A and B are shown apart, each in its own frame.
Chain A
């Protein structure tokens, strides 16, 4: 149980284009999902917290107009990187919290999406 999927697993795009990443909880309902970014050999950086049916809460320094987050259902959240530039190239990972799970506050991570902007 507690499986989270992400799509696509990797994407290469040209500078200036937008990229949408999907995060799905496959066997549980996730009222809260989290989006992280990780640069090579660095720690996870939380970008935003996403609640189903409401606006996402962004961490300081993360541009909400550039990283659009939609959490339209209890099993799906999307992150859109708008007008991507080479500096946005990174490993984007989502996680989902199983609020109804056996252990509170456990977060399960998707496999990640590797974005390369040319």
Chain B
């Protein structure tokens, strides 16, 4: 069973704060990890991908991967009201030749002004 778990939220932070989103996965051999953002009524949008242990930064977003702990997180610095959305963690498990993703249920983030 390839499970992806996210903290259920909802998560509410003030504008300018750091929002921290967490995700754990069950398949120790998982190879690719992604964060998607989904606004209400819209389709998911890829915001970060990470493949090796450590941090990966892109603008205000930082993804952190710890394969030993089977944990991946997303930090959003200087959060803005426009960041309010549902964030989906997705994982490609070991042996996936077609790149099928397993998604968590998502964490709803609200950034209040």
Contact = CB atoms under 8 A, between A and B. Distances in A.
Interface of A: 32, 34, 43-44, 46, 49, 51, 91, 93, 97, 99, 103-112
A32 B88 contact: no
In this complex, the interface size class of chain B, counting residues with CB under 8 Å from chain A, is 20 to 34
Nearest to A34: B100
Closest 7 CB pairs of A and B: A105-B99, A105-B32, A112-B43, A109-B43, A97-B99, A43-B105, A105-B92
A53 B99 CA distance: 17
Interface string B81-98: 000000010101000101
B71 interface: no
Contact of A44 (B51, B92, B98, B103): B103
Nearest to A4: B43
B32 A104 contact: yes
B42 interface: yes
B3 interface: no
A32 B98 contact: yes
Contacts of A99: 99
A107 B99 contact: yes
Nearest to A59: B100
B75 to A, nearest CB: 20
A43 B38 CA distance: 11
Given A43-B106, A106-B34, A49 B43 contact: no
B98 A43 contact: no
